Amino acid sequence: MDLASSKARERSMGWIRDKKMKLSWRASGCLHKNGKLVLKLAALFLFVGFCVRILSPSSADSMDHTETPLMIDKRDAPGLPVDKGDNLPAASQGQVIGAEECDLFTGDWIPNPSGPVYTNESCPFIESHQNCMKNGRPDTGYLYWRWTPRSCSLPQFDAKKFLELMRDKTWALIGDSISRNHVQSVLCLLSTVEKPIELYHDEEYRSRRWWIPAYNFTISVIWSPFLVKAAIFEDFNGVSTSEVKLYLDELDPKWTDIYQNLDYMIISTGKWFLKSSIYYEDGSIVGCHICDQSRNATELGFDFAYEKTLHKVMDFISRSGHKGLIFFRTSTPDHFENGEWHNGGGCPRTKPAREGEVGLNLLNKILRDIELKEFEKASKEARRNGVKLRLLDFTNLTLFRPDGHPGPYRQFQPFSHGEDAKVQNDCLHWCLPGPIDSWNDVIMQIVVNAVH
């Protein structure tokens, strides 16, 4: 996330509030217009409810199983932690894997005295914004925790075993800057066995490819933040000159052109859909999200584009006949508190959160709900077509790690000019080493089960 993304996210929250206000106004207008009818219906429902209550002794039990209502008011402020655990994400479908039927995505962060297997000094692949220790982060406690599923044991990522399994194989991580963050973690772990050699990078070093000769193993990161074709008018620092042009009916050839040549891939997207965008289908504008009024385009909201995109992506995958293993990773929540990226928000915590301290804000919940819905539909079609599509639902795993972000230490020595220096915090990406390394423990376990 960058300055433009954060402002777009703030405008997205404003769009959500406006939408709720319009719905509320319309509802109140209808009640006023049809007041007498409503009173009559209310009396009828009360009478029927009273009768059902008397005649059905199990009605109280059935109420206990209803879904918790959406607590919108608590999550209107983006990035602020929810004060109760009511808004924790429910377990997603398709998480049970392997003969032991272990849910790898429901667990706890437990102390790990041994710490990470690499350091910021031993790994040359850590980009400066994620090199928290080099940039002067003073605490180290965040390094000594490990994700542990509640229903089974999870072995630590074994780089040598992984490379043996992946001999002559090709991997790709496809998505935005979180995918780039993740590939750094993978490279750091693999470099404990053999240092990967870079074979390719694009002009901006956003798409890159590495090779490990002894195992003929290739891994790439493919920059495709929307997964569909997009014209993006901003620089590397996120400064925009115009809205994004998003072509919702055209998948991005950056990843589809190499799709059939990959043995394994991890596909993801998310926060970029909060940006101001113009939506196209069949070459024509169909709407927008927070666009200039001069465009004369209908405001459809980011959720419209996100659902359309994921449906297109999932349909392509499920019908592709691909013979490898395809992961879809859910978007990861950020941990900004008391503000956002551009207005003083930060993530000062130094240890994992406990249950009841954090919850998904409304934006993250909207993204997640769409992801799970589209994945569930696609996974059924994929199974019918013999396509191996798996879900990486890291929402719970990452939600409880507000301590794992660079915060102000995305820059070198941010407080060298005094503790009151104005700094920009990063509460979306992850320090390396850090919590994101645990993603690879989970991924390897799924791969091992799939291979055997």
Alpha helices in 166-243 (DSSP H): 177-190
pLDDT band at residue 343 using 50, 70 and 90 as cut-offs: confident
Mean pLDDT in residue range 363-368: 96
Counting runs of H as helices and runs of E as strands, what totals does the chain give?
10, 15
C-alpha dihedral sign at 110, 111, 113, 114: positive
Predicted confidence at residue 9, as pLDDT, reads: 62
Quick check: pTM over 0.85? no
Q: Provide the pLDDT confidence category of residue 293 given band limits of 50, 70 and 90.
A: confident
What percentage of the chain carries pLDDT values higher than 90? 69
Q: Any catalytic annotation for residue 201? A: no
Q: Does the active-site annotation cover 177?
A: yes
The C-alpha angle 234, 236, 238, rounded to 5 degrees, equals: 50
Gap between the Cα atoms of 258 and 218, Å rounded = 13
Residue 18 pLDDT greater than 80, yes or no: no
What 8-state DSSP symbol labels residue 176?
S
CA–CA dist 324, 106 (Å, integer): 26
Sign of CA dihedral 200, 162, 105, 426: negative
Q: Where are the alpha helices (DSSP H) in 290-430?
A: 302-318, 362-384, 395-399
Residue in 5, 6, 177, 268 annotated catalytic: 177
pLDDT over threshold 60, residue 50:
no
Active site residue 426: yes
pLDDT (0 to 100) of residue 421: 79
> Which residues, listed in sequence order, are joined to residue 234 by a DSSP beta bridge?
240
The residue from 12, 276, 429, 437 that is catalytic is 429
- CB 226 within 8 Å of CB 252: yes
Query: Of 176, 303, 426, 441, which residue is the catalytic one?
Result: 426
Q: What is the pLDDT of residues 126-172, one digit of tens each?
A: 999 999 999 999 999 999 999 999 999 999 999 999 999 999 999 99
Residue 400 has pLDDT above 70, yes or no: yes
Fold observed for domain 3-22+67-451: Rossmann fold (3.40.50)
| pLDDT exceeds cutoff 80 at 368 | yes
**What is the per-residue pLDDT across 372-381, written as a single tens digit (0 to 9) for each?**
999 999 999 9
- What's the mean pLDDT in 19-23? 47
Q: Are 212 and 194 in contact (CB under 8 A)?
A: yes
pLDDT confidence bin for 24, thresholds 50/70/90: very low
Average pLDDT, rounded, for the chain: 84
pLDDT of residue 452: 76
Q: Residues 274-290: pLDDT tens digits?
A: 999 999 999 999 999 99
CA distances from 330 to 33, 146, 213, 307 (A): 44, 20, 32, 13
Maximum mean pLDDT: which of 41-50, 55-64, 354-363, 366-375? 366-375
Where do the structural domains in the chain lie, given as residue ranges? Answer: 3-22+67-451, 34-64
Give the residue carrying structure tokens 């349909």: 315
